[in-house]
Amino acid sequence: MMESNNVSQMKVVLEAALLTSPNPLSLDEMLRLFPERVERATLRMLLDELKQDWQARNLNSMELVQVASGWRFQALPELAPFLSRLNPDRPHRYSRAAMETLAIIAYRQPVTRGDIEELRGVAVNPNTIRQLQERDWIDVVGQRDVPGRPSLYATTKTFLDDLNLKSLADLPEMETFLEQPFSEDEVILESAPETPPQVDFIDNSDASS
Amino acid sequence: MMESNNVSQMKVVLEAALLTSPNPLSLDEMLRLFPERVERATLRMLLDELKQDWQARNLNSMELVQVASGWRFQALPELAPFLSRLNPDRPHRYSRAAMETLAIIAYRQPVTRGDIEELRGVAVNPNTIRQLQERDWIDVVGQRDVPGRPSLYATTKTFLDDLNLKSLADLPEMETFLEQPFSEDEVILESAPETPPQVDFIDNSDASS
Amino acid sequence: MTVLVTEPKSHLEPRLHGEAITSLPHDLYIPPDALEVYLDAFEGPLDLLLYLIRKHNLDILDIPMAELTRQYMGYVEKMQAIKLELAADYLLMSAMLIEIKSRMLLPKPTEVESEDDPRAELVRRLMEYEAIKLAAQKLDELPQVGVDLMVANAYFEQIVQVQAPQVAMEDLVAAWQNVLKRASHFAHHKVGKAELSVREHMSQILRKLKEHNMLEFSALFDVENEGIPKLVVCFLAILELAREGLVKITQQAAFTPIYLQINQSN
- Contact with chain B for residue C139, Cβ under 8 A: yes
| Lowest-pLDDT range of A44-58, A140-154, C14-28, C99-113 | C14-28
| Lowest-pLDDT range of A159-173, B194-208, C52-66 | B194-208
A139: nearest Cα among B208, C206, B147, B108? C206
Instruction: Specify the length of chain C in residues.
Output: 266
Give the whole-angstrom CA distance, residue A186 versus residue A193. 13
Cβ-Cβ contacts under 8 Å for A152 (sequence gap 6 or more): A109, A110, A111, A112, A140, A141, A142, A143, A144, C206, C246
pLDDT along chain B (209 residues), means of 10: 66 95 93 91 96 93 94 93 80 86 95 94 91 92 93 94 92 66 35 34 34
**What is the predicted pLDDT for the residue at C240?**
86
CB contact under 8 A, B189 and C15: no
Inter-axis angle of helices C169-183 and A96-108, nearest 10: 80
Question: Would you say residue A201 has pLDDT above 80?
Answer: no
| Lowest-pLDDT range of A181-190, B36-45, C62-71, C198-207 | A181-190
Question: Would you say residue C213 has pLDDT above 70?
Answer: yes
- Contact with chain A for residue B77, Cβ under 8 A: no
**What is the predicted pLDDT for the residue at C223?**
75
Question: Would you say residue C201 has pLDDT above 90?
Answer: no
Residues 72-111 of C with CB under 8 A from B: 89, 93
What ipTM does this complex have? Answer: 0.58
Mean pLDDT of A135-141: 90
CB contact under 8 A, B185 and C62: no
| Long-range contacts of the stretch B61-65 (C-beta < 8 A, 24+) | B61/A12, B61/A13, B61/A15, B61/A16, B61/A19, B62/A15, B62/A16, B62/A19, B62/B19, B62/C152, B64/B18, B65/B164
- Any chains having at least 3 CB pairs less than 8 A from chain A are B, C
**What is the predicted pLDDT for the residue at B168?**
92
Cβ-Cβ contacts under 8 Å for C186 (sequence gap 6 or more): A185, A188, A189, A192, A197, A198, A199
- Contact with chain B for residue A83, Cβ under 8 A: yes
Q: Per residue in C82-120, pLDDT tens? A: 665 667 888 889 888 998 888 888 776 655 555 578 888
- Contact with chain B for residue C46, Cβ under 8 A: yes
| Contact residues, chain A, for C192 at CB < 8 Å | 173-175
More confident residue, C136 or C227: C136
CB contact under 8 A, C151 and B79: no
**What is the predicted pLDDT for the residue at A39?**
92
| Contact residues, chain A, for B28 at CB < 8 Å | none
Q: What's the distance, Cα to Cα, between the start and end of chain C in Å?
A: 105
CB contact under 8 A, C132 and B120: yes
Single-letter residue type at A155: T
Give the whole-angstrom CA distance, residue B15 versus residue A83. 10
Q: Per residue in C141-168, pLDDT tens? A: 888 887 778 888 887 766 555 556 667 7
Q: Per residue in C226-260, pLDDT tens? A: 777 788 888 888 888 888 888 888 888 777 888 88
Q: How confident is the model at residue C56 (pLDDT cuts 50, 70, 90)?
A: confident
Tally the C-alpha atoms within 13 A of residue C142's C-alpha that lie toward its C-beta: 21
More confident residue, C31 or C45: C45
Identify the closest residue of chain B to C156 by CA–CA distance.
Answer: B20
Q: Are C103 and C118 in contact (CB under 8 A)?
A: yes
Interface mutation target, options A2, A8, A13, chain B, most CBs of B under 10 Å:
A13
pTM across the whole model: 0.59
CB contact under 8 A, A62 and B15: yes
Inter-axis angle of helices C84-105 and C120-141, nearest 10: 140
Other residues' Cβ atoms within 10 Å of the Cβ of residue B5 = 12
- Contact with chain A for residue C183, Cβ under 8 A: yes
Interface mutation target, options A14, A32, A57, A85, chain B, most CBs of B under 10 Å:
A85
Give the whole-angstrom CA distance, residue B81 versus residue B85. 7
Mean pLDDT taken over chain A? 78
**What is the predicted pLDDT for the residue at C109?**
63
Question: Would you say residue C138 has pLDDT above 60?
Answer: yes
Q: Per residue in A73-123, pLDDT tens? A: 999 988 988 888 887 665 567 888 888 899 999 988 899 999 898 888 888
